[in-house]
A and B are shown apart, each in its own frame.
Chain A
Amino acid sequence: MTIITAVPPPAAPGTGVQVRTGSGRRLPGPLRFGGRALRTLWGNGKARAGLIILGLIIAVAVFAPLLAPHSPTATTFTPYSAPSAANWLGTTGNGQDVFSQLIYGARISLLVGVGAGVLATLVAATLGLVAGYRPGLIDEVLGFATNLALVIPALPLMIILAAYLQSRSVWTIVFVVAFTSWATGARVIRSQTSTLRTREFVTSAVFSGERLPRIVFREILPNMTSLVTASFLAAATAAVLAEASLEFLGLGNPGTVSWGTILYAAQQQNALLTGQWAMVLAPGLAIVLLMVSFTLINFGVDALSNPRLREK
């Protein structure tokens, strides 16, 4: 009868060492890493403020149906009314409650900002890694394309793309914003990759026969996490502003409710002249807060990677 034990018996007396393998009670690697990163960011004053603000905005977006007193598109109120007890921020020219629109608008603004930021960073990281790791023709071509994309001013190109595409969905805006903002991140990631490429750990990985994708994604990329995060936060900040700008110019979907479309309606209805100052002030402040939160967190990430910038 064989006795099956959890730990194999020691091969020789005195060598039995109890080794605790990953027994499923510890969290997976990436989650632990994320937790450590959050804890480090929390220690930085500016980043902590940014995380709090961002957390509040995310909470507002997630719990919008519970927080908003009315539906954002219901045109049941007196149009053009100033802030009152019934409508905390007044109503639009169509009789919609601005406060509810502000709360629901957080969803679209967050979605487009984070979505376009993620998309732009994915493209930038891919192109940057490829260009940095393989110098030569590919690097030259990609470098040239990146420089060209950097030269063309972003907003005019976005405006023209959005006008040409003529579809008015939120995903058009995400695509157009991401299309014009990948270049900065790509350039930064590329230069960092080409610096890391010459380090010994990469050479030893190559010599021990690791294949290219593994080297790039398991050796080089983890050393650039703070850079990629900073790049993502910068792209998300720009994306929030770009989305608001596109919608302010009337290139968004008039049916969706976001902070940019509230400002578009305010401009169309001359809100400042009809006394609806809250309709102009509130969405603008919300946009500013979201962008500031991303930037504050980015300060923390900067301080992580450049010790000279750390607050003493």
Chain B
Amino acid sequence: MVKGVRDDVRAPQGVLFIITLWAALTLNFILPRLMPGSPVDAALGRLASAGVPITNAERQAVEIQLGVPHSSPFIQYADYLKNIAVFRFGTSYSFPTQTVAQTIAKALPWTLVLVGATTIFAFIIGTLLGVYAGWRRGKATDSSITIGATFFGAFPPFWLGLLLLYLLAFRYSWFPIKGGYDPGSQPNLSLPFLSDAFRHSVLPALTLAVTLLSGWVFGMRNNMINTLGEDFVTFAEANGLRPRTVAMLYAARNALLPSVTAFGLSLGAVVSGSVLVEGVFSYPGLGNLLYIAVTNHDFPLMQALLLVITVSMLVAIFIVDLLYVRIDPRVRQ
């Protein structure tokens, strides 16, 4: 492997990543300052009802925290970037005993586990179904898989979650009703806790995976159909290779390539869906935090969550792009 070739492709990607990251941070800075309405009054109202005395100093502290201008925008921007660099996001209103950074850090692993499990499950099952549907195009299996995927993919995640919650957790008690783990136990890495956490994550992950299957099924099916029309497949068949060999080794592998980039983008859909599903199941991840933050008008928490979610997406897509370069030789310069 020539070292220079790899560096050529990676450098522009790294630069693009930095620029996009900067743009996302700046967008997160500008957005709250463009909004009408006064988050300051909402925040002070909440603090007052929590028993905190509202002095002028308190008001000024809240105003600084929420970005009501006290100094020039450039100084605010510089302060904002400095705070981001050291993960100082302020104090949340919903969880006044911790900083926002701590609250997010506690919820992040749960969301990562949920998102990871869901994506892998949906990707594998959806891709296999899509390959099968594309291979058997026009026959009954294809139609039933397509119609089924369309129907289930249109399910609102929170609706399916409510139904599954009622059926499997309430009526039949197969799975726990809420939370990420049993209320009595402390989070640790022991086996009983991990298996308990797994039990709690099955319903949310199942809900999300069902609603996301359709994207994978259709993407893979279309890719398969286009690939099956290519010359090299006809050539392989003419050479006498068995149909299944052609399907798996030749067609599916090449049809998989666009799916890898779709993988990165689909993470956004999983994160979005997790907001709804975690709310229904009271699963202690980032989505649930967003739900709480919105209900409580908790602006510091909201801003920090948007930032964390956006940056994670950027990092994930960057990694996926790097991987894509490795598996598709045509993209290398």
Which of the candidate stretches A71-79, A95-103, A304-312 sits at the interface with the other chain?
A: A304-312
> What string of 1s and 0s marks CB contacts (under 8 Å) between B113-153 and chain A?
00000000000000000000000001000000001001101
Given A159-B294, A245-B276, A151 and B158 touching (CB < 8 A)? no
Q: A152-B268, A160-B306, A267-B158 are in contact. List 7 more A-B contacts (CB 8 A).
A: A148-B20, A155-B275, A156-B271, A161-B31, A248-B158, A280-B163, A288-B156
Which residues in B have their C-beta under 8 angstroms from that of A236?
A: none
B99 interface residue, CB < 8 Å from A?
no
Which of the candidate stretches B71-79, B202-210, B308-316 sits at the interface with the other chain?
A: B308-316
Given A144-B23, A153-B271, A155-B275, A291 and B154 touching (CB < 8 A)? yes
> What string of 1s and 0s marks CB contacts (under 8 Å) between B300-327 and chain A?
0011011001100110010000000000
Given A159-B294, A280-B159, A309 and B272 touching (CB < 8 A)? no
The distance in angstroms between the C-alpha atoms of A173 and B239, with both chains bound, is: 57
How many residues on chain A are close to B (CB under 8 Å)?
46
The distance in angstroms between the C-alpha atoms of A296 and B271, with both chains bound, is: 26
Q: How far is the CB of A306 from chain B (nearest CB, A)?
A: 8
> What string of 1s and 0s marks CB contacts (under 8 Å) between A175-206 and chain B?
00000000000000000000000000000000
Given A250-B295, A309-B222, A287 and B313 touching (CB < 8 A)? no
Closest to B171 in A: A272
Cβ < 8 Å to B, chain A residues 20-52: 46
- Which residue among B269, B273, B297, B306 has the maximum number of chain A CB atoms within 10 Å of its CB? B306
| Interface CB pairs A-B, < 8 A, 27 | A46-B147, A144-B20, A147-B20, A148-B24, A151-B313, A152-B268, A154-B268, A155-B275, A160-B303, A161-B31, A163-B294, A165-B35, A166-B37, A241-B154, A241-B156, A248-B276, A249-B291, A249-B294, A263-B162, A273-B170, A284-B156, A284-B159, A288-B156, A292-B154, A308-B229, A309-B225, A311-B138
Q: How far is the CB of B152 from chain A (nearest CB, A)?
A: 9
The distance in angstroms between the C-alpha atoms of A78 and B36, with both chains bound, is: 41
Asked whether, in the complex, the Cβ of B313 is within 8 Å of the Cβ of A160, the reply is no
Q: How far is the CB of A162 from chain B (nearest CB, A)?
A: 8
Which residues in B have their C-beta under 8 angstroms from that of A163?
A: 294, 297, 302
Asked whether, in the complex, the Cβ of A152 is within 8 Å of the Cβ of B276, the reply is no
Which residues in A have their C-beta under 8 angstroms from that of B27?
A: 148, 152
Asked whether, in the complex, the Cβ of A292 is within 8 Å of the Cβ of B150, the reply is yes
Closest to B150 in A: A295
Which residues in B have their C-beta under 8 angstroms from that of A207?
A: none
B29 interface residue, CB < 8 Å from A?
no
The distance in angstroms between the C-alpha atoms of A263 and B138, with both chains bound, is: 38
Given A156-B271, A249-B291, A288-B155, A151 and B225 touching (CB < 8 A)? no
Cβ < 8 Å to A, chain B residues 249-288: 265, 268-269, 271-273, 275-276, 279-280
B226 interface residue, CB < 8 Å from A?
yes
B290 interface residue, CB < 8 Å from A?
yes
Given A250-B295, A284-B159, A312-B138, A151 and B229 touching (CB < 8 A)? no
The distance in angstroms between the C-alpha atoms of A159 and B272, with both chains bound, is: 10
- Which residue among B229, B294, B303, B309 has the maximum number of chain A CB atoms within 10 Å of its CB? B294
Which residues in A have their C-beta under 8 angstroms from that of B280?
A: 267
Closest to B280 in A: A267
B96 interface residue, CB < 8 Å from A?
no
The distance in angstroms between the C-alpha atoms of A281 and B163, with both chains bound, is: 8
The distance in angstroms between the C-alpha atoms of A284 and B35, with both chains bound, is: 32
Asked whether, in the complex, the Cβ of B225 is within 8 Å of the Cβ of A280, the reply is no
Asked whether, in the complex, the Cβ of B36 is within 8 Å of the Cβ of A152, the reply is no
Which residues in A have their C-beta under 8 angstroms from that of B297?
A: 163
A212 interface residue, CB < 8 Å from B?
no
Which residues in A have their C-beta under 8 angstroms from that of B39?
A: 164
A59 interface residue, CB < 8 Å from B?
no
B87 interface residue, CB < 8 Å from A?
no
